[in-house]
């Protein structure tokens, strides 16, 4: 018998029929002898609908009252799901975040969980109840309702699993797992059976938006085994854990996946003085404008000057370029320029730590396709390159092929 925390996203509870289907699914797990805590999102589109209503009153609305409004979405689904369980003859009880006592800080609209009082839930579980908890919400120490940021129900699920020391946190969603890359780009992309938290974080932050990043961080920190699986199809999904399956007798793939990010833009300033403080003079005004910088590259100086290139989110491109033009004047640099038709391709895998030559293999694969690399950056478990946008599909496919990601496993 296991204690499972299951989270069902908005699509999974998007209609009465689907809520009834979730009830059936939950009951199947219950009948297998598991204890269950079920976290639900608002019905799909509901959080957006509520946000739009608020914006009709005040387009810039933020803060406490927005949280009071948005949390109603999840309150609807916990009640409906619990009713559906009752109808089927099962003991079940719904809880809002405040009723559990999911205590958060008071940062409205993006609060962080501080603690969870799991005593009531543990008591209910002992009595055989199925517990249904509203995702995405909590209360601060004064009882003000807070929310955890968009997609926050994942974090509720993981945090409850950590607090209750659950055996697994299962995230049911509209995809059946984490893939080696986006199947819309590479049809042969394969579902991973297992991936580590570190790899998942790299994949997620690079644009594979299956889970809220904060939820993955939380799960990694508290070592909550996390499984992503489909609400609509049977299957094992993908298990995200801390062990990199050293226990498995099968040979481990060096690369777990290919991630990519289309939202990139590159900026360059040429001919700045190669003296202390210049990097700060360039990037200071960028960060003052609240623009996040991703990759940074400075050339080896020549003739006392150097070139400096960095990337930002594409939405920030125009603002960043304006700032850089001013900086260029101030620093008497030769020229500032940019390119917002670039993308980032990355290979991710913990196996890289123990294998040499991965980078050169990556560059060879891209070279064979005639793809020019504009920038390179590496971390312990990731190598990223910036290339022109038109090479995105070709590059991802070539890398997926070159690293044998489609064929590796037989399931």
The SS3 call for residue 338 is strand
Residue 136's binding partner out of Mg ion, ligand ASP, none, with CB under 5 to 8 Å set by partner kind: ligand ASP
In whole angstroms, give the CA distance from residue 182 to residue 147.
Answer: 30
Region from 99-107, 150-158, 188-196, 260-268 binding ligand ASP, contact rule CB under 6 A:
150-158
The SS3 call for residue 313 is strand
Q: Read off the tokens for 327.
A: 């900086």
Residue 395 engages ligand ASP in binding (rule: CB under 6 A): no
Residue 73 engages ligand ASP in binding (rule: CB under 6 A): yes
In whole angstroms, give the CA distance from residue 389 to residue 387.
Answer: 6
DSSP H helices in 32-63: 46-57
Phi-psi region of 61 (alpha: psi -120 to 50; beta: other; left: phi over 0): beta
Region from 40-48, 199-207, 326-334, 375-383 binding ligand ASP, contact rule CB under 6 A:
40-48
Task: Identify which of 277, 288, 261 has the alpha carbon closest to the alpha carbon of residue 375.
Answer: 261
CB of 18 to Mg ion, least distance (A): 14
Region from 151-159, 170-178, 202-210, 362-370 binding ligand ASP, contact rule CB under 6 A:
151-159
CB of 10 to ligand ASP, least distance (A): 5
CB of 74 to Mg ion, least distance (A): 10
When binding is defined by CB under 6 A, the residue of 6, 34, 41, 238 that contacts ligand ASP is 41
Region 42-71 residues binding ligand ASP, contact defined as CB under 6 A: 42, 47
Q: Which is nearer to ligand ASP, 69 or 321 (CB)?
A: 69
In whole angstroms, give the CA distance from residue 203 to residue 400.
Answer: 14
Q: Is 166 exposed, middle or buried (0-12, 13-18, 19+ CB in 10 A)?
A: buried
Q: Read off the tokens for 286.
A: 């960028």
Contact by Cβ (8 Å): 176, 187 = no
Residue 177's binding partner out of Mg ion, ligand ASP, none, with CB under 5 to 8 Å set by partner kind: none
Q: Is 288 exposed, middle or buried (0-12, 13-18, 19+ CB in 10 A)?
A: exposed
Region from 138-146, 149-157, 198-206, 224-232 binding ligand ASP, contact rule CB under 6 A:
149-157
Residue 73's binding partner out of Mg ion, ligand ASP, none, with CB under 5 to 8 Å set by partner kind: ligand ASP
Q: Which is nearer to Mg ion, 9 or 97 (CB)?
A: 9
Residue 136 engages ligand ASP in binding (rule: CB under 6 A): yes
The binding track of 152-191 with respect to ligand ASP, each residue x by CB under 6 A or -, is: xx--------------------------------------
Residues in the chain: 411
Q: Which is nearer to ligand ASP, 72 or 337 (CB)?
A: 72
In whole angstroms, give the CA distance from residue 155 to residue 111.
Answer: 11
Region 2-21 residues binding ligand ASP, contact defined as CB under 6 A: 9-10
CB of 212 to Mg ion, least distance (A): 8
Q: Which is nearer to ligand ASP, 75 or 281 (CB)?
A: 75
List the strands of the sheet with 375-379, edge to edge.
293-298, 305-313, 257-273, 335-348, 382-388, 375-379
How far apart, in Å, do the first and last CA atoms of the chain sit? 26
Q: Which is nearer to ligand ASP, 136 or 403 (CB)?
A: 136
Handedness of CA 359, 363, 368, 369 (dihedral sign): positive
Residue 314's binding partner out of ligand ASP, Mg ion, none, with CB under 5 to 8 Å set by partner kind: none
CB of 42 to Mg ion, least distance (A): 8
Residue 152's binding partner out of Mg ion, ligand ASP, none, with CB under 5 to 8 Å set by partner kind: ligand ASP
Residue 135's binding partner out of ligand ASP, Mg ion, none, with CB under 5 to 8 Å set by partner kind: ligand ASP
Q: How many residues bind ligand ASP (CB under 6 A)?
A: 12
The string of DSSP codes covering 207-222 is T-TTS-HHHHHHHHHH
When binding is defined by CB under 6 A, the residue of 14, 97, 98, 135 that contacts ligand ASP is 135
Q: Alpha-carbon dihedral of residues 10, 14, 18, 19, nearest 10 degrees?
A: 70
Say which DSSP state 182 is in.
-
Residues that bind Mg ion (CB under 5 A): 9-10, 41
In whole angstroms, give the CA distance from residue 405 to residue 253.
Answer: 8
Residue with tokens 């002992």: 126
Residues of this chain that interact with ligand ASP (CB under 6 A) are 9-10, 41-42, 47, 73, 135-136, 150-153
């Amino acid at each position: 018998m296991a204690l499972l925390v299951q989270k069902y996203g908005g699509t999974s509870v998007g209609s009465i029929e689907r809520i009834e289907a979730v009830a059936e699914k939950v009951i199947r797990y219950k009948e297998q002898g598991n204890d269950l805590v079920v976290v639900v999102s608002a019905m799909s589109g509901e959080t957006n609908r509520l946000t739009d209503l608020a914006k009709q009153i005040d387009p810039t609305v933020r803060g406490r009252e927005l949280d009071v409004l948005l949390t109603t979405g999840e309150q609807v689904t916990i009640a409906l799901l619990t009713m559906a369980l009752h109808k089927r003859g099962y003991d079940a009880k719904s809880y809002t975040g405040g009723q559990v006592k999911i205590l958060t800080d008071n940062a409205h609209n993006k609060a962080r969980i501080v603690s969870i009082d799991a005593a009531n839930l543990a008591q209910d579980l002992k009595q055989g109840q199925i517990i249904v908890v509203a995702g995405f919400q909590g209360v601060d120490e004064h009882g003000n309702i807070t929310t955890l940021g968009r997609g926050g129900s994942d974090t509720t699920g993981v945090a409850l699993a950590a607090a209750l020391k659950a055996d697994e946190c299962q995230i049911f969603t509209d995809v059946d797992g984490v893939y080696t890359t986006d199947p819309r780009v590479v049809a042969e992309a394969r579902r991973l059976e297992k991936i580590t938290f570190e790899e998942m974080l790299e994949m997620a932050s690079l644009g594979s938006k299956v889970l809220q990043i904060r939820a993955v961080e939380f799960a990694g920190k508290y070592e909550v085994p996390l499984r992503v699986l489909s609400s609509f199809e049977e299957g094992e999904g993908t298990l995200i854990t801390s062990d990199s399956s050293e226990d498995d007798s099968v040979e481990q793939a060096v690369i777990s996946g290919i991630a990519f990010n289309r939202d990139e833009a590159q900026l360059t300033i040429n001919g700045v003085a190669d003296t202390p403080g210049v990097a700060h003079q360039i990037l200071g005004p960028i960060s003052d404008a609240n623009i996040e910088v991703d990759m940074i590259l400075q050339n080896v100086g020549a003739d006392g000057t150097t070139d400096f290139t960095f990337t930002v989110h594409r939405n920030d491109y125009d603002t960043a370029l304006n700032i850089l033009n001013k900086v260029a004047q101030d620093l008497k640099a030769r020229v500032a320029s940019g390119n917002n038709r670039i993308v980032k391709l990355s290979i991710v895998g913990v196996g890289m730590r123990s294998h040499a030559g991965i980078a050169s293999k990556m560059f060879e694969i891209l070279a064979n396709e005639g793809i020019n690399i504009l920038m390179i950056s590496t971390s312990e478990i990731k190598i990223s390159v910036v290339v022109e946008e038109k090479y995105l599909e070709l590059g991802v496919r070539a890398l997926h092929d070159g690293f044998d990601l489609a064929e590796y496993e037989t399931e």
